[in-house]
């Protein structure tokens, strides 16, 4: 048993979709979250920059005494997780592996992936899916503007809907009915995506796949929290005007923001 906190980091508010699923699935666990608003967005940064940000966030969380780290960011998972696992002894889980396991277990043979430009260019989702699932067809679409629009609180604006319409075109044309939301900002757009596609579709929320995976991981290694949750802290690396408002919409509770 281990009552230390779970550490979670993302480039901004999107990772709170993962944070929320963890807090709902694991009600006893303490959680510390870092939103790296100073360096947002990660999706248009170089690989070396993303790795550096991921290292900085990891070291902050380790300094706060966490027992495990969740990379609640598609870009950081795709470009930095291997480096982090080599560099640190603490267990580190990204959003790709748990989601690929979910897709494999559901025996899905055709899937769409939407993610940031950096993530799609890295090929991490397609590579991981094809390594684990024989003959799976993967249709990728980079959606470079969605994370920024979400951070600005404009996900449901006319602008947001127009962009979703454009990004959903390849999935609509191929009638793809399973799509991985490969950036943790994207669950904010679930209703708009479903409305645009106009047919029944499963949007695979990485927060849900990660929280289920994490629950099994903690149980397997006997490091669950045995006491009631005592700690939930959200840290930002820079003040962000819309963060609290968007966070409340995601989490359905008021939050207190701390700054690093």
CB 187 within 8 A of CB 210: no
**Rounded Cα distance, 112 and 209, in Å:** 16
Is 143 catalytic? The answer is no
**Rounded Cα distance, 173 and 179, in Å:** 14
Cis amide linkage into residue 41, ω under 30° from 0? yes
Q: Residue 224's closest CA among 91, 39, 23, 67?
A: 67
Give the chain's radius of gyration (CA, Å).
Answer: 17
* C-alpha angle 111-188-72 in degrees, rounded to nearest 5: 75
**Number of CB atoms found within 10 A of residue 200's CB:** 7
Catalytic residue among 22, 70, 73, 95: 73
Q: E-strand spans in 24-168? A: 31-35, 68-71, 92-93, 110-115, 137-142
Burial class (CB in 10 A: 0-12, 13-18, 19+), 184: buried
Cα–Cα separations (whole angstroms), residue 96 to 4, 84, 132: 24, 15, 12
CB 188 within 8 A of CB 250: yes
Catalytic residue among 93, 183, 197, 201: 183
Query: Any idea which residue has 């684990």 for tokens?
Result: 132
Catalytic residues: 73, 183
């Amino acid at each position: 048993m281990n009552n230390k906190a779970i550490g979670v980091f993302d480039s901004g508010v999107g990772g709170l979709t993962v944070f929320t699923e963890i807090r709902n699935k694991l009600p006893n666990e303490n959680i510390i979250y870092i939103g790296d608003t100073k360096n947002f967005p990660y999706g248009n940064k170089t690989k070396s920059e993303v790795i550096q940000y991921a290292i900085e966030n990891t070291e902050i969380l380790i300094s706060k005494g966490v027992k495990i780290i969740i990379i609640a960011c598609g870009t950081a998972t795709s470009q930095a997780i291997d480096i982090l696992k080599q560099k640190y002894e603490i267990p580190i889980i990204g959003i790709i592996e748990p989601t690929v396991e979910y897709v494999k277990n559901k025996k899905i043979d055709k899937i769409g992936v939407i993610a940031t430009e950096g993530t799609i260019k890295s090929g991490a989702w397609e590579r991981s899916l094809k390594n684990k699932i024989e003959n799976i067809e993967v249709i990728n679409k980079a959606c470079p503007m969605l994370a920024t629009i979400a951070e600005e609180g404009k996900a449901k604006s006319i602008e947001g809907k127009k962009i979703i319409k454009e990004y959903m075109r390849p999935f609509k044309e191929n009638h793809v009915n399973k799509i991985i939301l490969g950036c943790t900002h994207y669950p904010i757009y679930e209703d708009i995506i479903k409305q645009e596609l106009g047919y029944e579709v499963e949007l695979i929320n990485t927060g849900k796949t990660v929280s289920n995976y994490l629950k099994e991981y903690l149980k397997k290694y006997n490091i669950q929290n045995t006491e009631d949750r005592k700690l939930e802290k959200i840290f930002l690396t820079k003040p962000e005007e819309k963060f609290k408002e968007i966070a409340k919409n995601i989490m359905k509770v008021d939050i207190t923001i701390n700054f690093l």
